[in-house]
Amino acid sequence: MRTVAVPSPWLSRAATLWFLVAATGLAIFTAYIGLSYGRAALGGAPGEARWVLGDALGNGLLSAHLVAGLLLSALGVLQLVPALRRAAPAWHRWGGRLFMVGAVIASLSGFYLVWMRGTVGDASMHVAMSLNGVLIVVFAWRAWQHARARQFDQHRRWALRLFLAANGVWFFRVGLMLWLLIWQQPVGFDPKTFTGPFVTALSFGQFLLPLGVLELYLRTRGRGRLMALGLVLCSLATAVGIFGAVMGLWLPQL
């Protein structure tokens, strides 16, 4: 039988700190999606959501993508709250199924929107988005498999990977605004075409970097003061990026 490592107190506190920061940012992002894109997702007027007159398939997939994104931002945080899992296990199971289905819908609709309808950025950014989508589908499948087999430690690991990958869009915005706050100007990319080495790196880093930090966390759970310090620094960086995104991206659009 596999032994489950118990995280050190320092590491547990640091992980909780990052989760609270991220949960706050995701709650704000969820409100932004609902307020800014809600009308377009339900067939409203065109706007920044790129509603295209006459494109029934594309508009339908865009609606599915937006609704799924709203679902993932709101539901993912709740799935990770231990007290809620203990108090309402049935809700957690159904919430998990809904999250996995939403993740797959967001990924599949995203493939169409990126490659058929088109979006900002160059081919490297589109490849990164597609790789992120593939990982989301794989992680959802693996999390479901382990849940069905009642291998809950493995299920939790794959569910954490799914949570991070599914929120790549949020990580992208937080990382972008952190970068702009540091440099106080666009460095490493052209803001008009949204291309450049930084955008390419961030397109891959939006999911690979959080997943890399998670793997380090999972492998150092029993002895983690250095890892705890790293998570505290990640929490500070995330908080600054959230502040930048709120002030520079989300509030101006509401």
3 belongs to a structural domain: no
Give pLDDT, residue 49: 52
Provide the domain limits for residue 116.
Answer: 9-253
154 belongs to a structural domain: yes
pLDDT tens for each residue of the chain, 254 residues long:
444 555 688 899 999 999 999 999 999 999 888 887 765 555 554 444 566 777 788 888 888 888 888 888 889 999 999 898 899 999 999 999 999 999 999 999 999 989 988 788 899 999 999 999 999 999 999 999 999 999 999 999 999 999 999 999 999 999 999 999 999 999 999 999 999 999 999 999 999 999 999 999 998 866 678 899 999 999 999 999 999 999 999 888 76
Helix H, strand E, coil C: the string for the chain is CCCCCCCCHHHHHHHHHHHHHHHHHHHHHHHHHHHHHHHHHCCCCCCCCCCCCCCHHHHHHHHHHHHHHHHHHHHHHHHCCHHHHHHCHHHHHHHHHHHHHHHHHHHHHHHHHHHHHCCCCCHHHHHHHHHHHHHHHHHHHHHHHHHHCCCHHHHHHHHHHHHHHHCHHHHHHHHHHHHHHHHCCCCCCECCCCECHHHHHHHHHHHHHHHHHHHHHHHCCCCCHHHHHHHHHHHHHHHHHHHHHHHHHHHHHC
245 belongs to a structural domain: yes
What's the number of domains the chain is made of?
1
109 belongs to a structural domain: yes
Give pLDDT, residue 90: 92
pTM for the full predicted model? 0.90
